[in-house]
């Protein structure tokens, strides 16, 4: 094969190969009582790659993987990269109808899971299976030689499907270059590499979860799998393995806060906590920093399409509500509806340009063109403001903006006020149709365990801090807010109520 310009291409299998050679006995993955060294991970990934190719798959074909966080996930990622295949992660909570849509839209030719696919595909490998589709049997019978299929680093390595909060999910094509760079830079930023132990809490089938849970493996560290979210189990694993870094979403922090389990475990080994999905409410962030005094707290911002866009580092923790400054290799623009730059303190739509951007939406050129600019910037769909120092504050989702009586209302502003009321654990605000005003503000509130919230007092609290149109016209109490796997509130479901 002729050398590509610039040398060897970046690959999501690169680090596995490298550390299998340099530190073969180091533990790469821990899943309960099961462990994988780098030597074993590399060999099993090679066997899986060979099994998929022997099943008739060809470079560029798509392989669906429908698994929770478990030992096999990293080897599936590495195997797909070794074989030049495109991984299609599917959420374990999706219905058969949702899974079928993704399998058919992606054109997946293989399905790897601990369950059977809802529709036929060419190659089925079932973890825990005993018949011809047995995952372990396929590995045992395959060659252990790395197929070393040539790739271009700009080739897609993953096809992620967006959460579909506003309609049918779109397939986001992400390249080896984008994902590999994010893994290496994440390891550098959040301490995930060699001689470090990280927890895999976020689901690996989600874009951020895959990067942050796989980055330790790509960079010579150790990742400990948390099969499903449980605050007590997370703390127990932290104590047992002396974990140092963990990626969380605000929902996780809220659960840790209310579980009462923190005092029963030694979590002093944690020195890095980093959060995504939504900005930490000020009250919750204060609690996190008090509960984990040895840890630096980061708040990052990004999307499946754009990758990581910004990061607010521990030194800037006093900038409440900020998602920080542009991340490595990232340029940002904040513009008005006409596309003209806005000044500090002015609201505008955020665009970013970096090596982490998607290749585009699968078979949807119109949607791709609709969110990108001719010079390579991609919109987040978020409304932000920048302060005089360049720090970015997410005001709201552009599509979530409420217009009541001609007044633009950012739900985030109302949520920030609701969140400071005593007894409020979580909240979300949406616009409901109103014959007179077009839309009215509707609030959904989750109370802390044992708390009793007086609605009249809550409304008075809002009136003292918000202008009339922004005060919620209705308040509904829920046991929990509906969220997707990334921890983002499904506001469409709230609007449908």
Condensed to tens digits (0 to 9), the pLDDT of residues 106-138 reads 999 999 999 999 999 999 999 998 888 999 999
Decide if pLDDT at 372 tops 50. yes
Determine the average pLDDT of the residues in 68-77.
Answer: 98
Between CA 249 and CA 490 the distance in angstroms is 15
Taking only the tens place, the pLDDT of each residue in 269-289 is 999 999 987 678 888 899 999
Q: Which tokens go with 252? A: 């996780």
Q: Which is nearest to 418 in space by CA: 470, 383, 486?
A: 470
Tell me, yes or no, if the two domains 14-386 and 401-496 fold the same way: no
* pLDDT number for residue 204: 96
Please tell me the class of the 14-386 domain.
Answer: alpha beta
Determine the average pLDDT of the residues in 307-330.
Answer: 95
Contact 10, 176 (CB under 8 A): yes
In this predicted structure, which of 119-133, 233-247, 292-306, 390-404 has the lowest mean pLDDT? 390-404
Between CA 362 and CA 138 the distance in angstroms is 30
Burial 1-27 (b: 16+ CB within 10 A, else e): eeeeeeeebbbbbbbbbebbeebeebb
Determine the average pLDDT of the residues in 192-207.
Answer: 95
Taking only the tens place, the pLDDT of each residue in 33-53 is 999 999 999 999 999 999 999
Contact 495, 481 (CB under 8 A): no
What percent of the chain is modeled with pLDDT above 70? 96
**Is residue 308 within a helix (H) or strand (E), and if so which, with residue range?**
strand 307-312
Taking only the tens place, the pLDDT of each residue in 456-493 is 999 999 988 887 888 999 999 999 999 876 677 888 88
Alpha helices by DSSP H, listed for 144-302, are: 176-190, 207-218, 231-241, 250-259, 282-291
Q: Name every residue whose Cβ is closer than 8 Å to that of residue 323 and which is 6 or more positions away in sequence.
A: 279, 299, 300, 301, 310, 311, 312, 392, 393, 394
What is the overall mean pLDDT for the chain?
92
Between CA 149 and CA 146 the distance in angstroms is 8
Determine the average pLDDT of the residues in 415-440.
Answer: 87
Q: How confident is the model at residue 65 (pLDDT cuts 50, 70, 90)?
A: very high
* pLDDT number for residue 362: 97
Between CA 285 and CA 276 the distance in angstroms is 12
Taking only the tens place, the pLDDT of each residue in 326-370 is 999 999 999 998 999 999 999 999 999 999 999 999 999 999 999
Between CA 49 and CA 80 the distance in angstroms is 6
Q: 413, exposed or middle or buried, with CB in 10 Å at 0-12, 13-18, 19+?
A: middle
* pLDDT number for residue 386: 97
Determine the average pLDDT of the residues in 83-91.
Answer: 97
Q: Which tokens go with 172? A: 């986001």
**Is residue 54 within a helix (H) or strand (E), and if so which, with residue range?**
helix 38-54
Other CB atoms within a 10 A radius of the CB of residue 48 amount to: 25
Other CB atoms within a 10 A radius of the CB of residue 411 amount to: 24
Residue ranges per domain, the chain?
Answer: 14-386, 401-496
Determine the average pLDDT of the residues in 308-334.
Answer: 95
**Is residue 397 within a helix (H) or strand (E), and if so which, with residue range?**
strand 392-397
Total-model pTM: 0.85
Between CA 12 and CA 148 the distance in angstroms is 12
Q: Which residues pair with 246 in a beta bridge?
A: 199, 273
Decide if pLDDT at 449 tops 60. yes
Between CA 379 and CA 305 the distance in angstroms is 9
For residue 473, how many C-alpha atoms fall within 13 Å in the half-sphere facing its CB?
A: 14
| CA distances for 199 relative to 104, 181, 209, 243, 390, angstroms | 33, 20, 11, 7, 32
CATH number of 401-496: 3.30.300.30
What percent of the chain is modeled with pLDDT above 90? 77
Determine the average pLDDT of the residues in 136-147.
Answer: 98
Determine the average pLDDT of the residues in 194-209.
Answer: 95
Determine the average pLDDT of the residues in 68-95.
Answer: 96
Decide if pLDDT at 1 tops 60. no
Determine the average pLDDT of the residues in 295-309.
Answer: 95
């Amino acid at each position: 094969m002729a050398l590509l310009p610039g040398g060897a291409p970046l690959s999501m299998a690169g680090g596995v190969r490298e550390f299998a050679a340099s530190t073969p006995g180091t533990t790469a993955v821990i899943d309960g009582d099961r462990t994988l060294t780098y030597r074993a991970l590399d060999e099993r990934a090679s066997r899986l790659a060979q099994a998929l190719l022997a099943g008739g798959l060809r470079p560029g074909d798509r392989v669906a993987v429908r698994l929770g966080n478990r030992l096999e996930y990293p080897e599936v990622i590495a195997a797909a990269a070794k074989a030049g295949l495109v991984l299609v992660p599917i959420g374990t909570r999706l219905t058969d109808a949702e899974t079928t849509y993704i399998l058919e839209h992606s054109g997946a030719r293989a399905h790897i899971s601990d369950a059977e696919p809802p529709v036929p595909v060419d190659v089925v490998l079932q973890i825990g299976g005993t018949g011809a589709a047995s995952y372990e049997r396929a590995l045992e019978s395959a060659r252990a030689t790395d197929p070393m299929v040539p790739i271009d680093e700009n080739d897609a390595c993953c096809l992620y499907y967006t959460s579909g909060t506003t309609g049918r999910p779109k397939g986001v094509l992400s390249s080896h270059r984008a994902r590999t760079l994010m893994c290496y830079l994440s390891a550098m930023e959040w301490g995930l590499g060699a001689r470090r132990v990280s927890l895999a809490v976020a689901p690996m089938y989600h874009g951020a979860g895959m990067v942050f849970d796989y980055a330790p493996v790509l960079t010579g560290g150790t990742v400990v799998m948390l099969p499903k979210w449980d605050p007590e189990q997370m703390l127990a694993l932290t104590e047992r393995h002396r974990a140092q870094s963990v990626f969380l979403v605000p929902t996780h922090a809220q659960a840790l806060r209310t579980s009462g389990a923190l005092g029963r475990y030694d979590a002093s080994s944690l020195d890095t906590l980093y959060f995504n999905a939504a900005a930490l409410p000020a009250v919750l962030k204060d609690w996190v920093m008090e509960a984990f005094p040895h840890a630096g707290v980061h708040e990052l911002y990004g999307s499946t399409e754009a990758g990581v866009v910004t990061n607010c580092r521990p030194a800037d923790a006093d900038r409440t509500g900020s998602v920080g400054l542009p991340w490595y290799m990232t340029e940002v623009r904040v513009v008005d509806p006409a596309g003209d730059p806005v000044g500090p303190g002015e609201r505008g739509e955020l665009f970013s340009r970096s090596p982490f951007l998607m290749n585009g939406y699968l078979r949807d050129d119109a949607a791709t063109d609709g969110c990108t600019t001719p010079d390579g910037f991609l919109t987040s769909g978020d409304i932000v403001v920048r302060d005089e120092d360049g720090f970015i504050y997410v005001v709201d989702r552009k599509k979530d903006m409420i217009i009541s009586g001609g007044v633009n209302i950012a739900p985030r502003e109302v949520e920030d006020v609701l969140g400071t009321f005593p007894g409020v654990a979580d909240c979300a605000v949406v616009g409901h149709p109103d014959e007179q005003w077009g839309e009215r503000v509707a609030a959904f509130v989750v109370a802390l365990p044992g708390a009793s919230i007086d609605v009249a007092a809550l409304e008075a609290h809002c009136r003292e801090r918000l202008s009339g149109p922004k005060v919620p016209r209705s308040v509904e109490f829920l046991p929990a807010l509906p969220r997707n796997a990334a921890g983002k509130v499904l506001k469409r479901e709230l609007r449908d109520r």
